[in-house]
């Protein structure tokens, strides 16, 4: 597990890690951030196959229980995590003037948009649906967040070289699984490697999240 910095934002690269282990580490990091014993931190990882079910889940979201299912605190509905995703959990103490989770979601989306644009993918948003989309019909980035006394956790998952067939186990964020796509599916041989994607995403998050951080908000 490597620890670097992006400005004064700590970046911990966890590699491939079981969802429950990363979930526990998020909770530990949130508690340390609240206590002032840890800096704002990005936890970067990918997971073994797992389905997480957020607080906004409606109806029968899990269609096939071939993967473990975890009920979690974030907003949003069911999503799948697995190898080939870039998952980032920002643990950030929101400044008193920036405690707006809707704006926070938009900032995470913007970081995803910038990351895809750097690889030549023109993506955007979809009215009424969180995340990053191509043409409003193909989803590349899923986002779900929570906050504990205004320290954020949970975060975003970018489909890099993900097995898209695994999404058929759920209704991702309430949609048909066919909406899900990946950088590899869109770019083919032009798809950048994981190291490049992570570096671009971390840089974009550092800039987009700076206005929310204590000492940086206007």
List pLDDT tens digits, range 168-192: 999 887 899 999 999 999 999 999 9
Q: What is the DSSP string of 10-71?
A: EEEEEEEE-HHHHHHHHHHHHHHHHHTSS--EEEEEEESSEEEE-TT--S--B--TTS-EEE
Quick check: is 160 in a domain? yes
Q: Quickly state the pLDDT bin for 55 (edges 50, 70, 90).
A: confident
Quick check: is 100 in a domain? yes
Domain assignment of residue 184, given as a range: 2-212
**pLDDT in the model for residue 74:** 87
191 catalytically annotated = no
Phi, psi (rounded to 5 degrees) for 127: -55, 130
In the set 91, 121, 147, 173, the catalytic residue is 173
Total domains present in the chain: 1
Quick check: is 63 in a domain? yes
Quick check: is 140 in a domain? yes
Quick check: is 218 in a domain? no
Quick check: is 52 in a domain? yes
Q: What is this structure's pTM?
A: 0.93
**pLDDT in the model for residue 5:** 59
Task: Give the mean model confidence (pLDDT) for residues 70-98.
Answer: 93
**pLDDT in the model for residue 217:** 44
* CATH number reported for the structural domain that contains residue 196 in this entry: 3.30.930.10
Quick check: is 217 in a domain? no
List pLDDT tens digits, range 116-154: 999 999 999 999 999 999 999 999 999 999 999 999 999
Quick check: is 44 in a domain? yes
- Return the beta strands (E) in 83-197 as ranges: 85-91, 124-126, 129-134, 138-148, 151-159
List pLDDT tens digits, range 25-41: 999 999 999 999 999 99
Q: Classify residue 112 by its DSSP letter.
A: H
């Amino acid at each position: 597990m490597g620890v670097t910095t992006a400005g004064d934002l700590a970046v911990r690269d966890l590699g491939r890690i079981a969802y429950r282990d990363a979930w526990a580490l998020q909770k530990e990091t949130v508690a340390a951030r609240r206590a002032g014993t840890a800096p704002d931190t990005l936890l970067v990882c990918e997971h073994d196959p797992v389905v997480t079910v957020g607080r906004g889940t409606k109806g029968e979201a899990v269609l096939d229980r071939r993967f473990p299912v975890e009920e979690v605190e974030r907003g949003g509905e069911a999503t799948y995590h697995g190898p080939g995703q870039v998952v980032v959990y920002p643990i950030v103490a929101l400044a008193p003037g920036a405690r707006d989770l809707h704006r926070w979601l938009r900032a995470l989306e913007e970081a995803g948009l910038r990351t895809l644009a750097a690889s030549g993918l023109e993506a955007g948003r979809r009215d009424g649906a969180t995340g990053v989309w191509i043409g409003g019909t193909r989803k590349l980035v899923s986002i779900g967040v929570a906050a504990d006394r205004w320290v954020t956790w949970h975060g975003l998952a970018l489909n890099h070289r993900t097995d898209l067939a695994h999404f058929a186990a759920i209704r991702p964020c309430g949609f048909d699984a066919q909406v899900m796509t990946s950088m590899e599916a869109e770019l083919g041989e032009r798809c950048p490697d994981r190291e490049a994607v992570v570096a671009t995403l971390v840089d974009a998050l550092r800039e987009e999240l700076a206005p929310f951080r204590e000492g940086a908000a206007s």
